[in-house]
Amino acid sequence: MRLTRLYLAGFKSFASPTEIRLPANTLAIVGPNGCGKSNLIDALRWVMGESSARHLRGQALDDLIFAGSGERAAASRAVVELTLDNRERRIHGPFAAYNELTVRRSLDRDGQSRYEINNTRVRRRDVVDLFLGTGVGARSYSVIEQGQVNRIVDAKPDELRGYLEEAAGISVYRERRRETANRIGHTEENLSRLNDIAAELE
């Protein structure tokens, strides 16, 4: 699955609408210190559902919205869009049939956040699910930051297993199993409460 386009507006240092086409398998982004290279990686993580400001190198989520500069007023909204080529059908679930998918996330200063996939409003969870098992994702091994190679080399066995499971495409099933186990737990609690009530009524 290839990422083909990244669009940013009002996101961190990208005040103006900026479209970056990703036409090849190998692409290098170069520029002087502080020009915004890492902000592009933050944008990628954010649009894929990252919700921790710390993981996006900020204190609070509204640090993601362009804060203004000498000659430019602050933005009121941050928008990031990520377009994916799904012709190899790596995406499963309700959007599996599309050849191309665009995930959009926006955040207003009042904290209003919104996710869309191909112009359909969705929940954060739908976006996270979209990427589960594809190897791409807000915290997946496919986004490698400075220092992350060390983190993988030094990873504890459990963390390492997490990376391997994502690479093998089975983390999606582990997540489903966890959700199902939670649901079974709640149902068992309800059943035991019902049994108590039935016993009192007898």
Catalog residues that contact ligand ATP under the rule CB under 6 A. Answer: 12-13, 31, 33-39, 63, 65-67
135 labelled ligand-binding: no
Over its C-alpha atoms, the chain yields an Rg (Å, rounded) of 21
Q: How many residues comprise the chain?
A: 202
CB of 33 to ligand ATP, least distance (A): 4
Residue 106 CB, shortest distance to ligand ATP, in Å, is: 15
List 106's β-bridge partners, or say none.
79, 114
- Nearest distance from residue 200's CB to ligand ATP, in Å? 59
The verdict on whether residue 31 carries a ligand-binding annotation is no
73 or 155: whose CB is closer to ligand ATP? 73
Query: Is position 49 annotated in a ligand binding site?
Result: no
- Structure tokens belonging to residue 193: 């409460």
Cα gap 60→154, rounded to integer Å = 29
Rounded distance between C-alpha atoms, residue 170 and residue 157, angstroms: 17
Min CB(143)–ligand ATP separation in Å: 14
Q: At what angle do helices 157-168 and 171-201 cross, to 10 degrees?
A: 100
**33 labelled binding-site residue:** yes
- Phi first, then psi, for residue 89 (nearest 5°) are 55, 50
Amino acid identity, position 189: E
Considering the complex, state which of residue 20 and residue 67 has its C-beta at the smaller distance from ligand ATP.
67
Distance CA 140, CA 142 (A): 5
Nearest of 187, 202, 140 to residue 166 by alpha carbon: 140
User: Which CB atom, from 37 or from 125, has the smaller least distance to ligand ATP?
Assistant: 37
Least distance (Å) from ligand ATP to the CB of residue 69? 7
Cβ nearer to ligand ATP, comparing 65 with 132: 65
Q: What does the DSSP assignment read for 17-33?
A: -EEEE--SS------ST
- Residue 137 phi/psi, 5° resolution? 170, 165
**Minimum CB distance to ligand ATP smaller for 45 or for 95:** 45
Residue nearest to ligand ATP (CB): 38
| Residue list, annotated binding site | 32-39
| Residue list, annotated binding site for ATP | 32-39
